[in-house]
Amino acid sequence: MRVLVIEDDAEMADAVVAGLRRARMSVDVAHDGTTGLEQALVNDYDVVVLDRDLPGVHGDDVCAALVADRRRSRVLMLTAAADIYDLVDGLGLGADDYLGKPFEFPELVARIGALYRRAQPAVPPTLRQGDLVVDLARRRASRARRELELTPKEFGVLEVLLTAEGRTVSAEELLERVWDQNADPFTQAVKITISRLRAKLGEPAPIETVAKTGYRIAP
């Protein structure tokens, strides 16, 4: 899952980003509306966590621009003034959900997860392939009932491959969907992560390499 956090309070932004990364999400951050809108229009995010009161481009205008551009990203709007009028205004602009500050972090994670599932074409909360089980809601994976200790990137790669339902996924697509904007397009990170993931999954190896194309989950 790839998330963009647009929040001008640097301390809050850092805390949210760190927490979401611990929850095995790939996260980018912007501290003003202008930069945030540019990133949201260039990159393919699953969820945008958007503070309403932003310098530069106001959060309302960022949300409206994303809706007008028909981005698939779901928008979770944050505000310090969470009364019914703010809720109506935010949802009227096209936001998918609304959360008032201060908020409990587990609720933020749960709402992001719910929006992510809504953004996907009928993806169930739990993915299964043979004895491999991935719980998207709890961000956990197991094989043959053995809990897998996966890094956020390993979990993200496994999630993308499983949701592809046998389709071959290129290294470029994995890099785009699992890593953040600072990833080097020429890096070997995908190859290394696949190798480590295979070692943790054990035999028989569920991930196949398709020559000169990418990777897929074996049928």
Q: Name the pairing type of β-strands 146-147 and 2-6.
A: unpaired
Length of the chain: 219
Radius of gyration of the chain (CA): 18
Number of C-beta neighbours around residue 163 at 10 A? 18
Structural domains of the chain ordered from first start: 2-119 (3.40.50.2300), 126-217 (1.10.10.10)
> pTM for the full model?
0.64
For residue range 19-64, list pLDDT tens digits in order.
998 888 889 999 999 999 999 998 889 999 999 889 999 999 999 8
In angstroms, the CA 146 to CA 90 distance is 43
The tokens for 74 are 């779901």
Which residues have a Cβ under 8 Å from the Cβ of 83 and sit 6 or more positions away?
none
For residue range 111-140, list pLDDT tens digits in order.
998 888 776 654 567 888 889 999 887 888
